[in-house]
A and B are shown apart, each in its own frame.
Chain A
């Protein structure tokens, strides 16, 4: 793949791939911020250590994906230091802060599952072997993030007063916003970068969720203004107060 210096040089499929990788990497950036903010609420030393490791993992994955975006003319400087709240392309699911421990667990389950489902379609990519290997590595590491949330969901359910199922149902609607409406044009799939279409990935995600939660029939998101470049309905960007919490602040402390 040739090195690109400007977005105007990109073909339509490359531009679509660049947008999608931005969305996945930003999902991981914001998810890392969630882990960072919840860290103090770790329920035991082992929990604290686990959240710390998942936070570190998500930052690492985000930076590796940002690095890969260099192939499309994106620089780390642009990604990490010049963007504002309106430029972050994370899923709507992560806009609203966790309301309780149970809501936190339900949300990270949905977010980890959604991002892993999307990345699973890049593992066989022949068009970009580096991305295929990166996706495979991220998926192997993320497996334990899912075990963590599934384990906590099972533990929370032992309490009859647990709200984890309601929290999950609420968060599921926001998660589905990431896929928009089924059967829309999908340049990343039709160009062969992904081996599965967005519609099928949405179904794959719902099947995976069904193994842990009851998914109501006919659940859908009104896709009034869904834009593939941000994988969202409505206006681009994340809330300003969330951005202020997750943005990198001290350039001199950042790793080169």
Chain B
């Protein structure tokens, strides 16, 4: 069986994986919770993909954060990463 080779530039719009973490809440009483992540080459495409993929509720608020913007605390000095990218 032939293994599918993904052309990252053509199929995903970028040459390396870039992840955005997605946070949302249904109403102002709920805490903003992590609901998943999307891969996208820029914030515009990440916004659209997050909105369409995580549409299980009518969200009052949704936001995305690039994974690269996270300042890790527990992983600092650790040999293994919690999220392998």
Contact = CB atoms under 8 A, between A and B. Distances in A.
Given A49-B53, A54-B52, A155-B14, A150 B39 contact: no
Interface stretch (A39-47, A184-192, A193-201): A39-47
Interface string B31-43: 0000000111111
Interface string A148-161: 10111011101100
Interface string B18-48: 0000000000000000000011111111111
Contacts of B47: 144, 147, 151
Nearest to B11: A43
Interface string A69-113: 000000000000000000000000000000001000000000000
Is the contact region of chain B dominated by helix, strand, or loop, or is it mixed? helix
Is the contact region of chain A dominated by helix, strand, or loop, or is it mixed? helix
Interface in A109-168: 144-145, 147-148, 150-152, 154-156, 158-159
B45 A43 contact: no
Contacts, number: 70
B44 A150 contact: yes
Interface residues of B, number: 23
Q: How large is the interface on A (under 10, 10 to 19, 20 to 34, 35 or more residues)?
A: 20 to 34
Nearest to B50: A46
Contact of B39 (A44, A49, A154): A44
B81 interface: no
B29 to A, nearest CB: 23
Q: Which 3 A-B pairs have the closest CB atoms?
A: A151-B45, A155-B13, A151-B44
Interface of B: 9-15, 38-49, 51-53, 55
Given A43-B11, A148-B44, 11 more contacts: A46-B38, A46-B49, A49-B53, A53-B55, A54-B52, A147-B51, A148-B48, A151-B40, A151-B42, A151-B44, A155-B14
